[in-house]
Amino acid sequence: MILDSVGIQKILPHRYPFLLVDSILEIDRLKRIVGLKSVSINESYFQGHFPGKPVMPGVLIIEGMAQTGGLLLLLEIPDREKKLLYFAAVDEARFRRPVVPGDQLRMEVTVLKYRPAYCKLHAVATVNGEVAAEATLKCMLVDRDPVTEPSEAPADAAVGTRDE
């Protein structure tokens, strides 16, 4: 294993329950990455998708593949804490088999085109060697808005008090 969940969280801004990659097995810089997601019945989305027949939502499989690819790209960005990767497009998405609790989703992402602000990726998610989903993902690197702390108003500047 190259990165565990702690290492992943040092690179990706995602956090539980929306962090959808648990570990990274392989990295070939700016070319290819392989990540894993262990799918557990404890995932919150299984409560409603679907009761009695739990299936991982396809959009979350796509998101897991995108997060895996995002790791590969963000490794190249020196000031990545000031940046975010946004989807620009999802093309040719195909779902081949359901992903269910107990499955280990292997997500392999290959770079098709790379520029510092734009990237095109091909992603394939498999379970036990069977393709579960695949898609072409396009993403853009954008500046993250600076986090501003709300200013604290002095206690005597309360608005709308009954003493008026």
User: Which residue is catalytic, options 14, 32, 49, 97?
Assistant: 49
149 φ/ψ angles, rounded to the nearest 5 degrees: -85, 140
Q: How many CB atoms lie within 10 A of CB 39?
A: 22
Residue 1 exposed, middle or buried by CB count within 10 Å (0-12, 13-18, 19+): exposed
* Side-by-side strand order, sheet with 83-95: 23-28, 32-38, 104-115, 118-127, 130-143, 83-95
- Two tokens at 126? 């498999």
Which of 116, 111, 117 minimizes the C-alpha distance to 137?
A: 111
Residue 49 annotated in active site: yes
Residues taking part in catalysis: 49
